[in-house]
Every structure is written in structure tokens, then in C-alpha cells.
Structure 1
Amino acid sequence: MKNQRISAAGSDLIEDFEDDRLEAYPDPATGGAPWTIGRGHTGPEVRPGLKITQAQSDALFAQDLHARGEIIINVLDLDLTQNQFDALVSFVFNVGPGKKGVKDGFIELREGGPSTLLKKLRERDYAGAADQFPLWDKGDGKPMAGLTRRRAAEHALFMKVD
């Protein structure tokens, strides 16, 4: 898995849920931070009024896909199918790794410790891990239809056998 990269199908799944916007926009759940630009790119440089070109958006998307894939590779010592890897990259692309005291995520929860999804993967309980996707459909504590659809798509891809 050390050299695994997201496939075109995985990239397409992410693009199905991420608008490609060339002007920074607020998080739909908070109406503010984190500000986003391009296809789901966030970071300290993204602020209200920031504008980028299509080429910059494409470059940020490629960098973000690579970075999210590296998160999966570095935190899991597993052989994943391409579909499992792609679904996890999409999940981490949207949810993030998390940070104790700040934000729930794939690697770390706000209260500390790993997510149940990560624990199930480390236990090689793939069905149990897949069952975790639908639980991550909330923004600011409320279910969001777009996240519900995205988690269903990620779940389906994770479970798909080629």
C-alpha cells in the first residue's frame, strides 16, 4: 500500500461532491471558517475574497489528493483494495485527520483517541469500518443531505468488489 494512489474513479467521486469554485466561500455548516476554495481546499491562506485561476485550482486539487492519500498510507499498515483506498481518501478529504480539542476526524477525535473507523480498520474489521461511514453525515451537529449522500457513496465504493 505504500505506493498506492487514488484512482480516476476515486478522484471522480470527490469531484462529484466538491464544487470547483475559484473564489473563496464559507463552510456550509458554519457559514464561516474554514473557508474553502477550488475543489474543497482549505488552509490558513484561504480567506474571504481570495480568488484563484483554474490552473491553481487543478494544482491544489492534485496536491490535496496526494496529501490525503499519504494520511491513509501513513496511518494504516494494511493492504487495501483500490476501492477501499479511494473511499478512505474521499472521507479524509472531506472530514480531515482531526485534532484533539479542536475537531473530530479520521485519525483523532476532539476528545482524543482515534475514530472508530480507524480502530475498525486496524482490527481488519472491514464491514465494521464500512458501517462507520454513514455516522459522519453531520455538519455543526446537524445531518446534512449532501454529507449523507457522500457517505453513502463512500460506503458503496468501500464495499464494492471488482
Structure 2
Amino acid sequence: MTRRINAAGLSHIMQWEGKELVAYRDVAGVLTIGYGHTSAAGIPKVREGMRINDTEAAEILRRDLGKFEERVEHLVKVPLTDNQFAVLVSFDFNTGALHKSTLLKKLNAGDYDAVPVELMKWVNAGGKKVKGLVNRRSAEAGLWAKGEFVASNTVDADKAVNKKDVAVIVGTGAGGAATSVVPVLPDLIDAVTKQHDDLTSGEWARIIVAVVILGLTGYGIYRKVRS
């Protein structure tokens, strides 16, 4: 049985893909619906004026993710935690490039610490750095840093996601005051980069993890103060 993405990973993808319940044409003119679903991804075929509901959108996404879950399971030769598996599914779903990435090569060589650094290299579109991709890669790096196992790899799409997972991925909470937790990460990485271009992948990974933990700790303190 193919391994399935966990609830935290599914929430992450839903957050960054966005949801449209009425068919629309993307920037390339391709009919799209739900969480970025197109006819090229498989059933259902997207038609002009097509409408779906929230449940259908989630079901279509889970079906679309199946291809990428299989790819990660096939391409990665080292053990992965549930969150690590979810990060790679998200990355491949977004880029379709896991098979040819340096990230995969280093990971299969046992260099887990290199993954957050390699993720942050995939932030360009059209030759320019895109803030949305920077933030998405930062969220993936944060989820990779968590790294713990969860109870199941077969969480249903409509199952409630633990609020802690959402806070880690999205960097926000009910009060809305922690929305800068994730976006701050790439800015700090850029600042460090200008000073230390010769850092090893392990050192980079520790920096990324430390910044993520620092941000989440601050968010936790904020929640306690508000409560």
C-alpha cells in the first residue's frame, strides 16, 4: 500500500495551493478548479462553468497527490518520518522536480540536514525570486524540522488538523498576530547568507531549524500571554 501524506502535510498543501470551487483559467489559460486541479492531472475533466464543493475539492486533491506520494516512495531510498515524507510530497507536487534535484541526491546519501537548505533554492519563477515561493519553502523547512512521527499515514482529507500543526506550517493563530513567523525566516536566512557564504549544509540546516524554533517559541509565549 502506498504511503499517504499526513494531516499536517495536507493542511500545508491546501494552504499554499488555495481553493477555487468554480472553474477558472490560470495565468497560462488552463482551466483549473479546486486546489490547482487541471484535466492533465486526471479525473475529473475541468469544464467551463464547472462547480464543486469543499468535500469534492479535498477528494480531488487527495487523488492528485497519489502520483506524488508514489514518486516520493519510489525515489527516496532512506527512512522518512511522516512530516519529512509530507514535505517531499508537497515539494514535488509544486515543482515536479524531485527526481532531478540535488535535494534528492543529498538526501539519499544520508544528508538529512541538507534538505532545508536545498528547499530554499527553489524559490524562483521566470528567473526571479517569488515571495510566495520563499514563504512556501520556508513552511516546508519548518515542517521538516519538526520531524516527529504521527499516529497514521492515512488521515482522511476532512479530518480536523491539530492546531499546533497549522501554527507551525502557516505561522498564524486565532489572534492573527503571529503571521510573520514563517515569512521572517527567509529574511533572516538572506541576512546570514550575506555574511556567511561558506557555511556547510549542516550548519545551514541548524540555522534554519533554530530560527523556526525561535519563531514558534515566541508564538507560544504570545498565546500564553493572551490566554
**TM score, norm. by length of structure 1:** 0.77
Aligned to 1:89: 89
Structure 1 runs of 4+ off > 4 angstroms?
none
- The partner residue of 1:118 within 71, 87, 104 is 104
Relative contact order (alpha carbons < 8 A, sep ≥ 6): 1 or 2 greater? 2
After superposition, the C-alpha distances for 1:62-120 in whole angstroms (9 at most, x for unaligned) are 10222211110011222101111111111111112xxxxxxxx111xxxxxx2101111
RMSD of aligned Cα (Å): 2.1
SS at match of 1:37: strand
Give yes or no for the alignment of 1:156 onto 2:155: no
**TM score, norm. by length of structure 2:** 0.57
Percent identical pairs in the alignment equals 38
Aligned length: 143
Aligned to 1:99: none
The unaligned stretches of length 5 or more in structure 2 are 149-227
Aligned to 2:98: 106
* Equivalent AA in structure 2 for residue 65 of structure 1: L
Q: Summarize the alignment of residues 13-162 of structure 1 with structure 2, pairs less than 5 Å apart.
A: 13-27=12-26, 31-32=27-28, 35-44=31-40, 45-46=45-46, 49=48, 51-54=50-53, 55-96=55-96, 105-107=97-99, 114-162=100-148
Moved more, 18-27 or 82-91: 18-27
Q: 1:36 & 1:142 partners in 2: Cα distance?
A: 24
The higher radius of gyration belongs to 2
Question: Do the aligned partners of 2:68 and 2:89 also contact (CA within 8 Å) in 1?
Answer: yes
Question: Do the aligned partners of 1:24 and 1:51 also contact (CA within 8 Å) in 2?
Answer: yes
How far apart are 1:131 and its partner, in Å? Answer: 0.9
